[in-house]
Structures are given as C-alpha cells and as structure tokens.
Structure 1
Amino acid sequence: MVRDDLYITVPSSFRCPISLEVMKSPVSLCTGVTYDRGSIKRWLDAGNNTCPATMQQLSTKELVPNHTLHRLIKIWSESVLNRPENHPPSPQSLSRDQAEQIILQLEIDLKMIHNTPFPRFHTIGHNLSTLISFVNEACDNRKVVMEAGGRVLPLLVSLVGKKQSLSDLCLLEKIVLFCNVILKNRVKIDSEGRDNAMFSGTEMWKYDFKTIILTCLKQGRLELRIAVVEFLELMSTHLGSQMQQSNFIPEHDEMYFELLRLIVSSNWSTDALDASLNLLSRMVVFKKNISKMVRVGGVKALTKALSEPELSPPLTEKVLKLLEIASSSREGRNEICGNELCVQAILKKVLKVSNAATELAVTLLWSLCCFSGENRVAAAVAESSGVAKILLLLQSNCSPCVRQMCGDLLKMFRCNSKSCCLSCYDTKTSHIMPF
C-alpha cells in the first residue's frame, strides 16, 4: 500500500477516474478518456453505454491500450520504489547460528535435487550468495563454512554436472565460487576426516562435467571462466590420480584452445593468466597433451603473454616453464624455432625479471640450441644481443648449472658465428669483457 506522503504526489492523470487508484492497465474509450481496464470493464459489463466521466453515448465499446501512459506510470512507479526512504536497511552480518542454519538448509536442498522434479535452484543460488558474502567478511567466518564443507562439497560438485543447471550460468558461477572457497581452505571431504572419501566412489562421475565445463569457458563471463579453471586446478590438487582416472578435465583440443583463449582475451588479467597457466602446467605433465597444446596455438599464445611488458615475475616464470615443456616435443621445438618473436621474448627475460626466470630462459635456449641442435635458434641469438647477455651472465653470481649451460651456448655461437671476436673467445677465460 502507498504511504500517505507518497500518495498525494501521484499525478492526477495516472489515476483511474472510476477507482481513483493508479492505473495498472490504462485503456482509452472512443471519447478519449482513459480508465483502468478492470474498472471500465465492470462499468460496461453492468450494461452501461456511456463514458463515466463525460456521460457521452459510446459509438463503440472498443478499448484501446494507452501504451504511452502505461510507460509513464511504470517509470514513475520505479522512481518511487528506488527512493532511499523506500529501501529496507542493509541486513546485518550473519551470526554463526544463522550461517549454520543456511548451510543446513543448503545441504537439505542439495540432497533432494535428484529426487524431486522441481529442484529449488533459486533458493540454492540465494543461499550460496549469502554464504560467499559471509565468508568474505572475515577470516573467522571461514571456519563455520569449513566445518560443514565436507558434507556440502560433494553435493555441489555433483550439481555442476547436472544437466538442468547447464542453462543457468549465474547459478553455476555461484556453485563453482563456493566450491573454490572450500577447496582453497583444504577442507576434509567428509566430516569423519577421511580425505577424498566422498569422491572415491563412482556416483559423482556419472554426470557430464565436460559439456558444462566447456559451455562455461565458451559462453560464461570472464569471472565464471576464471572460477571454472581454478575449480579444475583445485580439484586436481585434491583428487590426484583419481582426477586422471575420472577424466574430469576434458583433454581434447577444444579444452586447450579455451584455456589459451582465456590467456590472450582477458586483457592480461592476472587472475585469468594465473589460473590458466596453473591448469595447463598440470595437464601437460603427460607428453600426449603437450602436442595438443602446441597444435591449437600454445606457442603463439605463450609468446604473446611473454611479450606483455607488465607481466609479473611469477607469471613470467610460469610462461617460460610451459615453453620449456613445449620444447620437449618435436612440434613444440618447430613452433618455437620458427617463431622469431618467441626467441626474442625469451632473450629479453635474461637478467631482466628474476633469477628463476633467467635460469628458465637459459635452460630453454640451451635445450633448443645444444641439446636439440637447433641452429636456427643459435643463429637468431648470435645475431641479437643474446651473446652479450650470456657473457654478462657468466660474470654474475649464477649457479654452476647455469654457468655450464652458458659455456655450452657460447661454444655453439662461436661455431655458428663468423665474428672474429667470438671465434677467438675461450670459455675458460677468467675475465670476460663483452664490449
């Protein structure tokens, strides 16, 4: 019901001449007067053939919707509802007891999903949003959620694979985010403290996770795509060998393409890069997967990331590590050696980012030039500032392993270079002048 102080501000043209209430469905008679549809129909159904406001005889009883007035009333109504005084005060933070009650209700709803034709998806989504906000308010709140996480997590993971949730990406995002909260805190999978007990059976794996995962990566907004990739990486960490046996992660070309697309299409979001690189590193442990990553453009995507000037040292190290893994396959070596930008990007990271990045870059160059005998890379490095950087690195406080690789690289450059200075260089020289 409208408050008194708001009621007197209602424009007179918005009120029905019969009921004096704000019109919900304004319609006009042939006389040009507008009424609320319900009120004028009752007047006409009573046998009246006149306009109530003017008492004119009606030539027709046709009711014409007044769309313009309807839109104006709608705009006015929304402006009234959006006034600060009409908004309820912000709810106070949940207490521990309230959070436990919400978790209990969530658990009940999740258990009933597979046994009811009308699952309470809306209620589940609302409770998940409430709990996510509750956890983010304070570190102590995590303990409340973690205590029940072992019971709720397997139910939520099963829901990810439920086909009915496929079309509701908003619900899926809430589910995945809440799963990540639990997994990041390394919760026990069941309340008795037996790790992975709930995931050891086959019940969870009967659902089609692959289809939903790819749908999220293809159609979801950036936040959902990042959350799904983090979810897969966290699940891999907790399940270990069970993850590979269950085929939970789609390991065909489409999956690698989406992970690489997340890297290059995220405007270099740190979260997106970190999530994608972590999962790719886990997936390419198996040699058959290295070729898949390379085949869908892995070297090109990693080169773009490595060439990004604002890339942080930890992310730079992860990109270099993936390139090193890619170079262990023939396809990867061919892609790197044929990509001049990739070789230049690797060289730029020597002595520029961190000791770990320098060691990875040198190892990658050594692997390509010395171990695999790729003269194309050696020639490209020798023609650029690579030789000077290797010489400077030998003068630095590098590890014995890096020093040995630098020496091997210089020997190869000397063999491939026509430079008198380089051809006369002896790797046993005690003092190096790279100028």
Structure 2
Amino acid sequence: MEEDPQPQVEVPCYFLCPISLAIMRDPVTLPTGITYDRDGIERWLLTATTCPLTKQPVPADCDPTPNHTLRRLIQSWCALHDADSADRVHTPKPRVDRTAVTALVSRVHSAATGSAPPQRPQLLAALRELRDVAAESDRNRKLVAAVPGAVDVLAAVFAASANKSSEGTGTADAVRDDALEVIALLPVPEQCLRRLEETNEALVSALVSALQWSSAPSRARAALLLERVTAALPPSRLASLPEQVFREAVELLRDRPVSRPATKAALQVLVRTAAWGRNRVKAVDAGAVPVLVDMLFDDGAERRACELVLAALDRLCGCADGRAELVAHAAGVAAVGRKALRVSEVATDKAVRVLRSVARHAGTSAVVQEMAQAGVAAMLCVVAQSEQYGKRTRERARETLRLHARAWRTSPCLNHHLQAVYPC
C-alpha cells in the first residue's frame, strides 16, 4: 500500500521577495519601508530610481539596511522544514562599505606615490584587493567608482606602470594589468573618461602599450577601454590620434582569437576615428584594408561585427589610398559584394556605399569588368529595385549602376531579367 505523499509546506508570504517571489536569502529594507532580497533590489536599482512596490523615489546612493531579524526568522523556519527541501539561508559574509573602499583606494595611492622599491609589492596587494572587491558585485563596482578620485588614481597607476612595463619590468606588468582590470570593471561615465584623458595625456599611450605587451585577457580589456575612451574624446583630440593606435587596432583584428568583444571594440575604434582624413591614411598605412577584407570571409562572424567591418571599409574608401588597397586585394570587390545581400539592411547599405566609392573614383576598365564578373552589378540591380532596402540605399545603387551603364547593362554577366530593369 502506497504512503500518502507529504503535504507541501506553504512558505510564509513575508519570507518571499516581492521581486523574485522566492525565499529571501539576504533581506534588506529600503527607506520606503519595503523589504526585498538584496540581489533582486540591487539589480532593480541599477536601472530604476524608485521602489518597485510603492513607486516612491530612492536616492541614487541608497544602501539598503540589512533586516537581521527577518533573516533569522527565515533561517529558523528553513531549519524546521529542512525535510521539506526548503533551502537553508546562510548568514551572508560582511559586505564592504564606502569607508573600506576609500581606505583601499588610499592604500593604492600611497603605494603608487612612494618612490622606494618596497612599495611595489604593497601596491600590487592593494590593487588585487580592490580588484576582488569590484569583481564581487555590481553594487561594489558602483561603490568603487563613486569614491572621489578613485578612477583618477587607478588611471594614473595604469599609465605610469604601462610606461615602465615597456622597459621589461615584470612587477610593472602585473601592476599595469591589475590596474587595467579594475578600471575595466568600473561603470565609468563618459564625462569622467573625457576628463581622465584631458588630465592624463598618457592614458591613450598606456592603452596602446597594453595592447602591445599584455596577455590576451589584458589586451581584450585594453581594447574595450580604448573604445570607451575614444567614444568620449572631443573631435579635436580624435582627429590627432597617434599612428600606434591604428597599428595596434589592426594587429588585434589580425589576431582575432583574442575575443569577440575585443574585435568589435577595435572595429568601433576604426569606424569612429576614420571620420577624419588623416586618420584614414594612418589606418590604411597600418594595413587595415586587407585585414578587413579577410574578415568578410568569416562566415561564422556575428552580424554586428560584419556591419562594423563594412562600415570601416566605407570610411577607409573615403581616401584614395583606401580605395587603391581594396581594388588591389585579389578578392576585395568580390568580398564586399558577397556580403551585401546576406547579412542585414545596414550591411547592404554600407556595402553599396563602398562599391559606389570604388566605381566613382577607381572605376578603371579592369575594375568595372571585375565588378561585373564578381556579381556586383547584379547585386546592385537587386538592391535598386527592392523595397526591402531604404530609399537612400536604393538611390545609391542606381547611381552606381548609371556610372558604368555602358559596360554593365549589356554584360553577359547580367541576367536578362536584370538587364530589363536596369536604371536609365
């Protein structure tokens, strides 16, 4: 005879987090008087400024108060109902506060400004403690970033150690990489990054040095931080970036196994900085065009990465050297045309822009024939008549087709049905 199943124990409603509806493991109370599980409410407050239940505003620097009494009640209840598979709620480990983080930052600053060699181990130890704190949670990262001068101190340590690491100092390498890791973890606002670069002119050079000499993880962090810094720079500074920035960005693209986020960051740097003519020449001289063309043959690449590759080629084909490099590549024109209809509307638009630039400014008879043989003319006809693409994209395709209508309209490479819709 089968035994009756044990009835499930109902969890008291006040033990449940209003956000997750699960038993609270670390209950905390907001100034509004409502208690939530710490993990749930901290995630909520990352993107919201109100209490989820009362909708009352919550200060940005609010640190929820631990509800020790409720936590002990939940622990006791879970212990009584352990046989019913209720998870025990363990006492959370002590959390760092603003005072502790401020003291850590002060230790980093003191060790960094000391001139005696014994200060190096203390600096490394303080940096690693700060890194562990920041890596623990979003709340800790916000706490570190909010300490006055913390980001400035870390940037100064990173820049100074990067210069020394290029001289082959092992300890400086470790300091550079740890400082970079902490900065990369922090949610640094754009205006703060702009101010950092203005007050610390060696920051960009330090990032270039990290791209040259670091391990793969640190190179990836340097690329991501460089992308954030260039996004914050004013146009006057972007237009005068050193050649090393482009050389290292291209080298990172050539060595793509570093990481996909780092690859996209390097592409973003090229797209953003190549808006200026001098930077286009620097990027082309660094070998960007053949590397970008080769990336178009990676069928496993993400859509966004492919869009960025075509956007970068569009920028670089804005100068004669860039167009010459694309045309000189054995598969340059074909690679761009190959991606035009296969990725996205954005990718199609960028590909059409590249091909229009080549047809208009580098359209020798050999190039025009290559474009027909590679199926570029057929692709442009499809884009020109398809409502799937934007009006400006279709108009660019028609404009490109008109440039070489005499050669393409009657080309044997163009199907008869496409010849019939060829724009006049």
Scaled to the shorter chain, the TM-score interval is: 0.5 to 0.7
**Residue pairs, 1:42-53, within 5 angstroms:** none
Cα gap change, 1:209/1:110 in structure 2, threshold over 3 Å: closer, same or farther? farther
Distance 1:109 1:423 in 2: 68
List per-residue Cα deviations over 1:368-420 (Å, max 9, x = no partner).
Answer: 11355454443222112223322332342221112212222333453114537
The answer to whether the aligner puts 1:156 opposite 2:154 as a matched pair is yes
Q: SS of the residue aligned with 2:326? A: helix
The answer to whether the aligner puts 1:186 opposite 2:186 as a matched pair is no
The CA deviation at 1:423 is 10
The CA deviation at 1:291 is 1.1
Q: Which runs of 5+ in 1 are unaligned?
A: 1-91, 190-194, 430-435
Aligned to 2:380: 390
Distance 1:187 1:292 in 2: 26
Distance 2:251 2:197 in 1: 30
Structure 1 contact 165–171 (Cα < 8 Å) conserved: no
Structure 1 contact 196–238 (Cα < 8 Å) conserved: yes
List per-residue Cα deviations over 1:157-194 (Å, max 9, x = no partner).
Answer: 11223257522322211111212233x441774xxxxx
Q: Which runs of 5+ in 2 are unaligned?
A: 1-91
Aligned to 2:45: none
Q: SS of the residue aligned with 2:149? A: helix
The answer to whether the aligner puts 1:101 opposite 2:67 as a matched pair is no
The CA deviation at 1:354 is 0.6
Distance 1:353 1:217 in 2: 30
The CA deviation at 1:243 is 4.6
List per-residue Cα deviations over 1:66-114 (Å, max 9, x = no partner).
Answer: xxxxxxxxxxxxxxxxxxxxxxxxxx856133x7414423224314533
Structure of higher CA gyration radius: 1
Structure 2 contact 341–348 (Cα < 8 Å) conserved: yes
Distance 2:346 2:261 in 1: 21
Moved more, 125-134 or 217-226: 125-134
Distance 1:422 1:414 in 2: 16
Q: What amino acid does structure 2 have at the position aligned with 1:160?
A: F
* 2:400 aligns with one of 403, 409, 425: 409
The answer to whether the aligner puts 1:256 opposite 2:259 as a matched pair is no
The answer to whether the aligner puts 1:309 opposite 2:281 as a matched pair is no
Aligned to 2:120: 121
Q: TM-score, normalised by structure 1?
A: 0.65
Report % sequence identity.
18
**Residue pairs, 1:22-61, within 5 angstroms:** none
Distance 2:109 2:236 in 1: 24
Structure 2 contact 144–150 (Cα < 8 Å) conserved: no
Aligned to 1:289: 279
Aligned to 1:146: 145
Distance 1:375 1:240 in 2: 42
Moved more, 338-347 or 117-126: 117-126
The CA deviation at 1:132 is 3.3
Aligned to 1:174: 178
Cα gap change, 1:242/1:300 in structure 2, threshold over 3 Å: closer, same or farther? closer
Q: SS of the residue aligned with 1:224? A: helix
Distance 1:425 1:268 in 2: 48
Structure 2 contact 359–403 (Cα < 8 Å) conserved: yes
The answer to whether the aligner puts 1:356 opposite 2:346 as a matched pair is yes
Cα gap change, 1:100/1:127 in structure 2, threshold over 3 Å: closer, same or farther? farther
List per-residue Cα deviations over 1:258-295 (Å, max 9, x = no partner).
Answer: 22111111327312211211222233232112112112
Distance 2:422 2:313 in 1: 28
List per-residue Cα deviations over 1:331-389 (Å, max 9, x = no partner).
Answer: 11111112131211111111100110011101111121135545444322211222332
Q: SS of the residue aligned with 1:96? A: coil
The CA deviation at 1:196 is 5.7
Aligned to 1:218: 212
Distance 1:316 1:285 in 2: 19
Distance 2:132 2:108 in 1: 20
* 1:324 aligns with one of 314, 336, 352: 314
The CA deviation at 1:239 is 4.3
Structure 2 contact 134–144 (Cα < 8 Å) conserved: yes
Structure 1 contact 382–413 (Cα < 8 Å) conserved: no
What is the RMSD computed on CA atoms of the aligned residues? 3.2
Cα gap change, 1:216/1:141 in structure 2, threshold over 3 Å: closer, same or farther? closer
Q: What amino acid does structure 2 have at the position aligned with 1:348?
A: R
List per-residue Cα deviations over 1:21-62 (Å, max 9, x = no partner).
Answer: xxxxxxxxxxxxxxxxxxxxxxxxxxxxxxxxxxxxxxxxxx
Residues paired across the two proteins, number: 323
Q: SS of the residue aligned with 1:223? A: helix
Q: SS of the residue aligned with 1:231? A: helix
